Amino acid sequence: MNYKLIMALVSDEKTQTVIHAARDAGATGVTVVPSAQGEGLKPEKTFLGLDLSAQRDILLFLVAAPKAREILETIAQAAQFDEEPGAGVVCQIAIEDAIGLTTQLPTILSEIEDQV
């Protein structure tokens, strides 16, 4: 089976919203890497050397390839990436192979059976 890794970088206050939206779109699990820091086009403001930028979380979803685009677009809408500057980013990466999804496989297969 072909998989995609969807990686979303979102502000920590939107993490749960994005996770729920991705699950509704067909994601069967997520790994959250909390408190990541990043910088966009313009450096973030500091106050007396303290960073005032919001913390970001990295959300990793390993999903069946046929569902990936739908999940990717759902995440972008839930996080309002196109509406709010600096809201975050989401991308997908092709995965050649994966092991450890045995418990999720029946659910994944039933969700994509009409697309395969």
| Any domain includes 98 | yes
| Any domain includes 46 | no
Q: How far apart are CA 75 and CA 77, in angstroms?
A: 5
Beta partners for residue 57, in sequence order:
10
The pLDDT confidence band at residue 16, using thresholds 50, 70 and 90, is very high
SS3 50: strand
Tell me the two tokens of residue 80.
């309002």
Identify the pLDDT of residue 20. 97
Q: Is the pLDDT of residue 99 over 80?
A: yes
What total of structural domains would you count in the chain? 1
Residue, of 31 and 102, whose pLDDT is higher: 31
Identify the pLDDT of residue 89. 92
| Any domain includes 43 | no
> For the residues 88-109, what does the mean pLDDT come to?
83
Answer for the pair 29, 101: CB distance below 8 angstroms, yes or no. Answer: no
Among 115, 116, 114, 100, residue whose Cα is nearest residue 28: 100
Question: Which CATH number covers residue 16?
Answer: 3.30.70.120
| DSSP state at residue 49 | T
Task: Read off φ and ψ for residue 40, nearest 5 degrees.
Answer: -95, -145
> For the residues 91-98, what does the mean pLDDT come to?
92
| Any domain includes 105 | yes
Q: Is the pLDDT of residue 85 over 70?
A: yes
Predicted structure pTM score: 0.79
| Any domain includes 99 | yes
Can you give the residue range of the structural domain that contains 11? Answer: 3-38+51-112
| Any domain includes 78 | yes
Identify the pLDDT of residue 108. 67
Tell me the two tokens of residue 54.
């919001």
The per-residue pLDDT for range 17-76, each reduced to its tens digit, is 999 999 999 999 999 999 887 666 666 665 555 555 667 899 999 998 999 999 999 999
Q: How far apart are CA 12 and CA 25, in angstroms?
A: 20
